[in-house]
Amino acid sequence: MRFTKMHGAGNDYVYVDCFRQDLPSNIEQLAIAAADRHFGIGGDGLILICPSERADAEMRMYNADGSYSEMCGNGIRCVAKYMYDHGLAKKETLTIESGGNVLTLELSTNGGKVDRVRVDMGEPVLEAAQIPTRLGGKQVVEAPLECDGNLYRVTAVSMGNPHCVIFVAHASDDLVFGVGPQIEHDPAFPNRVNVEFVEQISRTQLRQRTWERGSGETLACGTGASAVCVAGVLTGRTERCVEIDLLGGRLELEWNETDNHVYMTGPAVEVFSGEWFPAGE
């Protein structure tokens, strides 16, 4: 299987070009094996770049535990870069389908290759039932959630995939590795959930660590940063345009007041490509 390793702000995936080779079988097992940092290629998961009838391409995203996700913010920027740099669509505006939605991306080039991408992430979903979460109320803004005898104030947002945002004084290892996995599996989130721990620096600057559904802590989460931008506004903490520092880099976010869409801008980097021979294939 030929692959390309790419990352967006350190959130790294194994990318497979399914325009030029057949869709692999046993994708969930393949994702687990490919993501393994010791016995595989290594990454936060697997992303298939596939033909689409509705857009320039379709992104199909699998976490390191093999589970499917509807959307990946850092991944979709890398898919756009791959499409442009590898000659699949030499256009500075691209459409990419993911989880049934078609997103529009604006590409910036440097030396003939894409280095930054602005993604129209669409409208955030705030209705509890659609996120989905069983936490009470129509919307879940600073709702109490108990974990290990401690009470957390959580805001739930879907950016195509579910997020639980918690503003904290210090996004410590204890929170990320202790509380993160417990909330991921809390019955309040029937499809599991990605968990963001966020420190507020000012009304326009935030720091974020993410415990991702199906992959554990990653160096960045683009849908998570989008959810954080929305949660900052909903809780009255931040302006609509924010810069978010993640462990692997910075993302710029805007929740636009006019069209209600979230816009995310950040880097996309190709690291290497190669051929992999998964066991049993």
Ligand X SMILES: N[C@@H](CCC[C@H](N)C(=O)O)C(=O)O
Shortest distance, CB of residue 161 to ligand X, whole angstroms?
Answer: 3
Burial of 123 (0-12, 13-18, 19+ CB in 10 A): middle
Question: Residue 161, annotated ligand binder?
Answer: yes
Question: Residue 223, annotated ligand binder?
Answer: yes
Q: Which is nearer to ligand X, 85 or 212 (CB)?
A: 212
248 φ/ψ angles, rounded to the nearest 5 degrees: -105, 5
Question: Residue 250, annotated ligand binder?
Answer: no
Question: Residue 42, annotated ligand binder?
Answer: no
Shortest distance, CB of residue 159 to ligand X, whole angstroms?
Answer: 7
Enumerate binding residues for ligand X (CB under 6 A).
11, 63, 69, 72-75, 161, 194, 212-215, 218, 221-224
Q: Which is nearer to ligand X, 74 or 208 (CB)?
A: 74
Question: Residue 236, annotated ligand binder?
Answer: no
Q: Which two tokens stand for residue 114?
A: 């894409």
Shortest distance, CB of residue 191 to ligand X, whole angstroms?
Answer: 9
Q: Which two tokens stand for residue 173?
A: 């290892």
Question: Residue 110, annotated ligand binder?
Answer: no
3-class SS of residue 148: coil
Q: Which is nearer to ligand X, 65 or 127 (CB)?
A: 65
Q: Which is nearer to ligand X, 63 or 265 (CB)?
A: 63
**E strands in 64-100:** 68-69, 93-98
Shortest distance, CB of residue 90 to ligand X, whole angstroms?
Answer: 25
The Cα–Cα gap between 111 and 37 comes to 32
Q: Which is nearer to ligand X, 4 or 215 (CB)?
A: 215
3-class SS of residue 255: strand
Select which of 18, 50, 78, 221 is catalytic: 221
3-class SS of residue 64: coil
3-class SS of residue 159: coil
Shortest distance, CB of residue 224 to ligand X, whole angstroms?
Answer: 6
Question: Residue 212, annotated ligand binder?
Answer: yes
3-class SS of residue 32: helix
Evaluate the omega torsion of the peptide bond into residue 132 and state whether it is cis, within 30 degrees of 0: yes
Active site residue 72: yes
Active site residue 221: yes
Q: DSSP secondary-structure letter at 130? A: G
- Nearest CA-CA partner of 161 in 61, 81, 259: 61
Select which of 18, 72, 147, 241 is catalytic: 72
Given CA atoms 176, 178, 179, 182 in this order, what sign does their dihedral have? Answer: positive
- Nearest CA-CA partner of 251 in 163, 126, 119: 119
Which residue positions form the known binding site? Answer: 11, 63, 73-74, 161, 194, 212-213, 222-223
Which residue positions form the known binding site for substrate? Answer: 11, 63, 73-74, 161, 194, 212-213, 222-223
Question: Which sequence positions are flagged as catalytic?
Answer: 72, 221
